[in-house]
């Protein structure tokens, strides 16, 4: 039972987070910041594109360094 639960947790982790947890963490933080700015009535549409421009090269650099 524990083995199956562990296997399921590993599958979920792999399915959602994939090869680099940094991307998932960065997306969640960026969305939280977007929500915060929007609540403060500050235009926040630019934040996710900016996060993308930072996160993707960073994740690629980490992957290339590992190989």
Instruction: Give me the least distance between CB of 67 and other proteins, in Å please.
Output: 6
Encoded tokens for 2: 């524990």
Report the nearest approach of other proteins to the CB of residue 5 (Å).
Answer: 18
Angle at 24 between CA 20 and CA 28, to 5 degrees: 160
Smallest distance, Å, CB 61 to other proteins? Answer: 9
How far CA 63 is from CA of 19, 23, 44, in Å, comes to 9, 12, 30
Tell which positions 12-41 bind other proteins, by CB under 8 A: 15-20, 23-24, 27-28, 31-32, 34-35, 37-39
Residue 7 as a binder of other proteins (CB under 8 A): the answer is no
The single-letter DSSP state of residue 67 is -
d(Cα 50, Cα 57) in Å, to the nearest integer?
12
Binding site for other proteins (CB under 8 A): 15-20, 23-24, 27-28, 31-32, 34-35, 37-39, 43-45, 47-49, 52-53, 55-57, 59-60, 63-64, 67
């Amino acid at each position: 039972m524990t083995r199956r639960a562990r296997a399921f947790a590993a599958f979920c982790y792999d399915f959602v987070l994939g090869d680099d947890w940094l991307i998932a963490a960065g997306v969640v933080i960026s969305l939280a910041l977007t929500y915060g700015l929007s609540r403060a009535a500050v235009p926040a549409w630019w934040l996710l594109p900016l996060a993308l421009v930072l996160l993707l090269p960073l994740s690629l650099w980490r992957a290339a360094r590992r190989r």
